[in-house]
Structures are given as structure tokens and as C-alpha cells.
A and B are shown apart, each in its own frame.
Chain A
């Protein structure tokens, strides 16, 4: 069905992976069978490629490609999906699909594609650029291709649990090639407009290429017209970010934190929550003086969910919204859905106490664009209720016991190389973890 599956993203969005390969979507990491790479294909050539023609045709036929499974899952949980956010860029809202689809300023473009085997004459204006996986952190839920440090960890973990941890090859960042970086910025400059560009690492604030690209965009005058987003784990504060923030039209800075307690240090190893919060404070200070919109990019897992109430209270007190890209489902042994009922109920009790303490109300209508400063309080309330609804309604996975056994193996392996113990951070989980065989 068109109203359930259609997404307008393939008409304006392009993603580049850490290796420099093109991808159709920032919310789906699959390559859709592409061999297109930044070295052999321009941004516009990719958007207008046969592969994207096929994707647009699938969209117009109301199909849901495999690429879209993340968004489909998100929508079953009641959270705002990437698809909904991309549709909004075409002024389409799902609750009023027929009318807003027909009234969309992109209608003519959809019609052209329908009549021309998916082709479009549009050029891209919305980008996610994965700069590479250079990272100073080794978050336990992160796949190796997004962190050089996790790649190294997995080489050791593979020796301990070869089935659970694959030995991933070291990745070659496309941004290591200066000529490619220059080519990329030149292509951007030649486009009629760059509405939004999101840079992802690794840890972007730790990467030279991030500053190089931003500075080239500033020097060419492109930055003044561009909304730029990036995400940081808040373990790095490089003063060059201030120059970047001052010179883009607007900067959306996502802070990847899972908890405001030491649980963050365990999950986002080897961060230290004290300095993380110091850096958050510095970003909040910058927000006072510049077009800087800050959001927390939380991806709660079975552990960090326990302190979600404190995270949400931090958001309320500091007027920061939360956005999560996806409900975490990989690694599957870290999914929130593996919680035992008693812990789940404790978490729900804490969240409900937060609702009462701050008199939070459910929104009448779901807020899709959450980056509106005037709506911060409404958005925070919505986020709180989304997690309450998720916890109350999620379905336990069919292979619950297997995933819990894998959780024990996962913890034993990781703790042997990180030299830490989850129970030092979450003593409340002792009964549960012991019951599934955790012995550390």
C-alpha cells in the first residue's frame, strides 16, 4: 500500500558509506546491490542511476523494499520513523496521506518518475556522509564498521567467541584520500542547493576530514546556506567546532550519550561521564550564542534503559530533545526486549514517576519534525511516552533464551578485554544476570 510504504527520500537524498560507497538511505545501511562509489560516480549520477530508478519505481508501486525494514519496525513500535521524517520534507504526513501526497510540491516529480520508469531529473539536496570509522570509543553496541576501536576489539573478541563476534577487516576511510574529499566538496558546490548534510563517523569531532570538509564548505560560501548536522560521543571537545558552528546556517549537533550515570562509561567505553557532562555543558553554552540545535541521540539498550528516567530528566532540565535513529535490535543480545518483567516494571515505575513529577502530557498529534526549538517541551513529553509505550507493548523475541545466553557470552567476552564488570555499574541487575548464568 502506498500510504504504508511510500517514501519520498529517493527523490532527493543520497548517503555515502564509510568506505565511500553510495547508499540510498540514511536509515538503512544496505547497499541495494550498488557498486557505485564516490570515486567513480557523482552525487547526481547516483540519484539518477538505474538502481535509484528501480527504488523509486518500487516506491510508486507501494512496495516495501528490504532496505526499508528499519523504518517498518520503528513504525510498529509507535516511534517516529525515518520514513516519516523524509516524507515531511515533501510536506507529506502519514495521517493525511492521500491529500498531502497529492498536494505535495514533489507530486510532479513523482508523476514524472511514474511515467518514465522511475527516472528523475532532480539532483540531490539532502545528504548523509559517513566520513569513516575513525573513533576513540568502543561502544559495546557499535558494529566494527562504525568504529576503528571496535574493529580492534572485535579481533580480540573473535578469538574468545568466534560465532558472536566476526573478525571484521580494518576499514579504509574514503576521506583518507584528499583528492576524493576535494572532488566531493566541488560536487556539492556545483549543486543548486544543499538543504541538509549530516556527517557521521566514527567520532566526527576526532576526524581531520570533518574539519577539512566543513572549512572548504565555509570558504566556498556554501556553509552559509546549509544546515549541517553531526553527531559526537562527547568525549572530544575541539575548539575548531566553534568556527564550524559560527559559519554554517544552522548546526544540528547530536550528542550520543546513553546515560548521565556511569552506565554510560560501561556502554560507551572508555568514556568518563564526568568529562562527558563537562563537554555537554560547553555545547549548551555555545547554543546560547549561535544557531545550534542540540539533541541527545540515545539508543537505549537492555542496560542503559534502566537509567532512562535520569536521562530524560536531564533533557527536561537542560531543554534538550532526544532523537534515536532506531530502536536497537543489533546486537540482538542487547535488546531492551530481553528484560525480565520485574526490571521492566521498575523502569516503567520510574518513568511514570517522572511523568507525574513534571506533569507531562501526551501530545494530541505525533510530532514528526522534532528539531523545532519552540516544541522542545512537547517533544520531550512525547519521547517519554514513546518509551513507556514501547516497554508496555513490545513483543519478546522468539529466541529469548538464546539471546539471553548470548548476552552472558557477550558480557564475559567484552569484560575480559575492557576489564570491567556490569554489576559494578548496575547492581540492580544481579539477580537477573545470575539467573541466566552470568558469573563474573
Chain B
């Protein structure tokens, strides 16, 4: 007997596409990027880096970025998930609340489950 997902013919293994763009302010900035605790980038940045990938639809999305900068170096972060802009528009949900990383303190963004989270932060109203 088909289960609910199969019977509804919804696509199996739905994924979220992640598009993370790092723009360095300055050259040779050591930078480590972790997505869901997995290192996806660990190098010095001197030019724009685009990191793409996908995660399961219902997985949380946790992004951590650690840099070792010297004044006035910085890294600017842009994030698009499934074509929806997350950063810089909703940078106030990051910790610290910015998309412009200019300290050596770890920067992070935690999204528990993307679509419900996006519904809430874009003010789409109560979920009944």
C-alpha cells in the first residue's frame, strides 16, 4: 500500500538549494564556513566565493562563519535559499545581527525549518 507521500505523488526527497555568497573586503582573509556542522569552505578569501549545495527539505540550516581578520578587513554574506533572499534582508536574525562580519567572533545563522521560519519572518500571519 502506498504511503501518504507516495499516494499524493509529491516529489520524493525534496531538497532546499542553498546559495551562499561571500564577498571579502580586503585580501587573504582566513575564513571557515560550516553548514550543519560540516566544513564546506576553509581557505583564504581574496575574491567573491559562491558556495552552493542542498539539504533535505525539513532539515535545519545552521551556518557558522569564522574569520581571522585584521582591521579593516571584513566579509559580507549573502544567502539565498530556494530562490528566496535571506541575507542581507533578514540579517537581524543572525548572531550577531548583521551580514557584515568584521570581528573574529563566530558569526552564525540558525534556521530550524526553512519554510515555516520564512513564513514567520516575512510576516505572513499566524499558522493555525
Residues of A near any B CB (own CB < 8 A)? 2, 12, 60, 62, 88-91, 96, 98-105, 110-111, 114-115, 125-126, 195-196, 227, 368-369, 371-372, 374-375
Known contacts A2-B10, A89-B125, A99-B82; 15 further A-B pairs (Cβ under 8 A)? A88-B124, A88-B125, A91-B124, A96-B115, A99-B115, A102-B14, A102-B57, A103-B57, A114-B4, A126-B128, A369-B123, A371-B125, A372-B123, A372-B125, A375-B123
Give complex CA distance A188, B78 in Å: 46
- From residue A98, how far is it (CB to closest CB) to chain B in Å? 5
Q: B128 contacts A114, CB within 8 Å?
A: no
B58 adjacent to chain A (CB < 8 Å): yes
Give complex CA distance A103, B16 in Å: 11
Q: A98 contacts B14, CB within 8 Å?
A: yes
- From residue A378, how far is it (CB to closest CB) to chain B in Å? 12
B71 adjacent to chain A (CB < 8 Å): no
Give every chain B residue within 8 A of A91 (Cβ-Cβ).
115-116, 119, 124, 127
Q: A98 contacts B10, CB within 8 Å?
A: yes
Give complex CA distance A375, B82 in Å: 23
- From residue B127, how far is it (CB to closest CB) to chain A in Å? 5
Known A-B contacts A98-B10, A99-B82, A103-B116; A195 and B4 likewise in contact (beta carbons under 8 Å):
no
6 smallest CB-CB distances across A and B, nearest first, come from A103-B115, A89-B128, A91-B119, A111-B4, A369-B125, A12-B128
B113 adjacent to chain A (CB < 8 Å): yes
- From residue A162, how far is it (CB to closest CB) to chain B in Å? 45
Interface SS, B side: loop
Number of interface residues of B (CB under 8 A): 23
Q: A89 contacts B8, CB within 8 Å?
A: no
Identity of the chain A residue whose Cβ is nearest the Cβ of B114 in the assembled complex: A103
Q: B124 contacts A105, CB within 8 Å?
A: no
Give complex CA distance A27, B10 in Å: 27
Known A-B contacts A2-B9, A114-B7; A96 and B82 likewise in contact (beta carbons under 8 Å):
yes
Identity of the chain B residue whose Cβ is nearest the Cβ of A60 in the assembled complex: B8
Give every chain A residue within 8 A of B126 (Cβ-Cβ).
89, 195-196, 227
Q: B4 contacts A115, CB within 8 Å?
A: yes
Q: B93-128: which residues lie under 8 A (CB-CB) from chain A?
A: 113-116, 119, 123-128
Q: Mark B1-22, 1 if CB is under 8 A from A, else 0.
A: 0001101111100101000000
Q: A195 contacts B128, CB within 8 Å?
A: yes
Give complex CA distance A99, B4 in Å: 15
Give complex CA distance A374, B122 in Å: 11
Give complex CA distance A126, B127 in Å: 11
User: Could you write out 16 A-B pairs with CB less than 8 Å apart?
Assistant: A89-B127, A89-B128, A90-B128, A91-B124, A99-B82, A102-B14, A102-B57, A102-B58, A105-B127, A111-B4, A114-B7, A195-B126, A196-B128, A368-B124, A371-B125, A372-B123
Give complex CA distance A422, B124 in Å: 42
Give complex CA distance A125, B126 in Å: 11
Identity of the chain A residue whose Cβ is nearest the Cβ of B125 in the assembled complex: A369
Give every chain A residue within 8 A of B8 (Cβ-Cβ).
2, 60, 62, 101, 114
Give complex CA distance A369, B7 in Å: 30
- From residue B35, how far is it (CB to closest CB) to chain A in Å? 19
Give every chain B residue within 8 A of A126 (Cβ-Cβ).
128
Known A-B contacts A91-B115, A91-B119, A115-B4; A99 and B128 likewise in contact (beta carbons under 8 Å):
no
Of A88, A98, A195, A227, the contact of B11 (CB 8 Å cutoff): A98
- From residue A61, how far is it (CB to closest CB) to chain B in Å? 9
Give complex CA distance A64, B9 in Å: 17
- From residue B7, how far is it (CB to closest CB) to chain A in Å? 7
Give every chain B residue within 8 A of A60 (Cβ-Cβ).
8
Of B9, B16, B57, B127, the contact of A90 (CB 8 Å cutoff): B127
Give complex CA distance A91, B9 in Å: 20
Give every chain A residue within 8 A of B127 (Cβ-Cβ).
89-91, 105
Identity of the chain A residue whose Cβ is nearest the Cβ of B8 in the assembled complex: A2
Give every chain A residue within 8 A of B11 (Cβ-Cβ).
98
Give complex CA distance A70, B123 in Å: 27
Known A-B contacts A89-B128, A110-B4, A372-B123; A105 and B116 likewise in contact (beta carbons under 8 Å):
yes
